[in-house]
Structure 1
Amino acid sequence: MRLSNEPAFVLHARPWRETSLLVEVLSANHGRLGLVARGVQGPKRQVLRAALQPLQSIRFDAVQVGELARLVSAEATDVAPRLGGEAMLAGFYLNELTLRLAPRQDPAPDLYDAYALARARIGAGDALGWTLRRYERDLLDALGFGFDWHHDGDGAPIDPAARYRLDPEFGPRRLLSDRGHGDRSTAATGRALLALADDSAPDPEDQQGLRRAMRGVLSHYLGSRGLKSWEMLAELGRVTARRETPDPAGSS
């Protein structure tokens, strides 16, 4: 099958044999695809290599043969966001999560649109946590794993004052007052779930619980192997905590 002038976003690229790259893209009409870009080394191929960097928007031609497609040509269609610090880590997370959960050769136009929007928001400097929660919601919906965020798994309206655990199969489950502390630590407030349903940013105090609740759902579908970006975020948190801890030797 020939793919012509296909819009896509580059998710990942790694060396393939001696002079080639294996490039994973999220395409507009064919979902996630693996492309083999042959002979990309050398000064004459610099423009092509630049177009195949993660987060780059491209149009490409390829020939699909089995699981992988042979890349014929590709060109950048815009300037990829120039990210640093936490924004760069958010971009890495966006790509890694999509790469891990989106199946190959399964058209997902809603996911493509959601990715484009999240990429633009990160590049524009929007609030990173809320941008990523919205993308997680949209990714789950696009892949058929989403919830009715206005109701719990029994069909009852979400209570803003209650707390909920997100069951990947059942949906939001309301926590009772006698539940253990462990359940509450991974629960989201009803306010946060309704904010997500209405695409309206929750209060800052509700965002951490929403992040932990969403991570529990994503972990279910990722399986035993988590994300490298989660490990990087955890390490960043540890480094930040060490920097913010007063030095006992310097306090006297």
Structure 2
Amino acid sequence: MRYVAQPAFVLHARPWRETSLLVEVLSAEHGRLGLVARGVQGPKRQVLRAALQPLQWIRFDAVQTGEMARLIAAEAQDAAPRLGGEAMLAGFYLNELTLRMAPRQDPAPELYEAYAQARSRLGVGEPLGWTLRRYERDLLEALGFGFDWAHDGDGAAIDPAARYRLDPEHGPRRVLSDRGHGDRSSAATGRALLSLATDRQPEANDLPGLRRAMRSVLSYHLGPRGLKSWEMLAELGRVAPRTRPDQSDGGN
């Protein structure tokens, strides 16, 4: 199969052999693809090498002959967001989550659009926690794992004053008492779930619970191996390693 002038976002690139790169991209028409970029380490290939950096939007030509496609050409379509500090870590999380969750060669145009929006929001400095929660919501929806955020798993309307845990298979489940401490520690307020339903930014004190509730769903789909971005945050001392949550203000 041949790909011609395909738009895509670069998720990851790593050296392979002496002069090549293995690149993962999220393409508009074909989903996540693995590319082999040969001979990109020479001094005359700086432009191509720069186009294959994470978060870069490109158009590429390639030929698919096996699991990995051979890259023929790639050209940057804009300047990738210049991120620093927590925003840079959020960008790393965005890419790693997409890389781990999206299957190869499975078209997901809604995911491509959601990624484009999240990348843009990071670039203009919108609130990190809310940007990432919206992307997690949209990623789950695009991959067929989404919920009706306005109703619980039994079809009852979400109560903004109640708290809910997210069952990965059945959706929001109301936490009925304080006896299930574990449930409440990973529960979100009904207000936060309704904010996701209406795409309206939650109150600041609702974001940490929403982050933890979303984390439980993502962990279920990711399996026992978590994300390096979670581990990086734990190592930086921002969070307790045993819980693996993310930024205290609702970050990744």
Bucket of the pairwise TM-score, normalised by the shorter protein: over 0.9
State whether structure 2 residue 10 is matched by structure 1 residue 49.
Answer: no
Residue 5 of structure 2 is matched in structure 1 by: 5
Structure 1 residues 186-225: aligned runs within 5 Å: 186-225=186-225
Aligned-residue offset at 1:23: 0.2
Distance 1:60 1:194 in 2: 39
Q: Write the letter of the residue equivalent to 1:191.
A: R
The aligned amino acid for 2:175 is L
Q: Counterpart in 2 of 1:111? A: 111
Counting matched residue pairs gives 240
Task: Return the alpha-carbon distance in structure 1 between the equivalents of residues 217 and 124 of structure 2.
Answer: 28
Please report how far the alpha carbon of residue 28 of structure 1 lies from its aligned counterpart in structure 2 after TM superposition: 0.4
Q: Highest Rg: 1 or 2?
A: 1
Aligned position for 2:158: 158
- For residues 110 and 186 of structure 2, the distance between their equivalents in structure 1, rounded to whole angstroms, comes to 28
- Displacement of 1:236 in angstroms is 3.2
Aligned to 1:86: 86
For 1:154, the aligned partner's letter is: D
Partner residue, 1:20: 20
Q: Provide the TM-score with structure 2 as the length reference.
A: 0.93
Alignment of 1:134-173 (within 5 A): 134-173=134-173
Report the alpha carbon displacement of residue 178 of structure 1 after superposing the two structures with TM. Answer: 4.6
3-state SS, counterpart of residue 104 of structure 1: coil
- 3-state secondary structure, aligned to 2:9: strand
In structure 2, what is the Cα distance between the partners aligned to 1:154 and 1:128? 32
Q: Tell whether 2:68 aligns with 1:68.
A: yes
Higher helix content, 1 or 2: 1
Which residue in the other structure is 2:122 paired with?
122
* Separation (CA, whole Å) in 2 of partners of 1:181 and 1:225: 25
Percent of aligned positions that are identical: 83
Taking the aligned partners of 1:165 and 1:119, their CA distance within structure 2 comes to 28
TM-superposed CA distance for 1:216, in Å, is: 0.2
CA distance in 1, matches of 2:208, 2:90: 16
* Counterpart residue number, 1:226: 226
Give the drift of 1:16: 1.3
Give the Cα separation in 1 of the matches to 2:208 and 2:107: 32
How far did 1:33 drift?
0.1
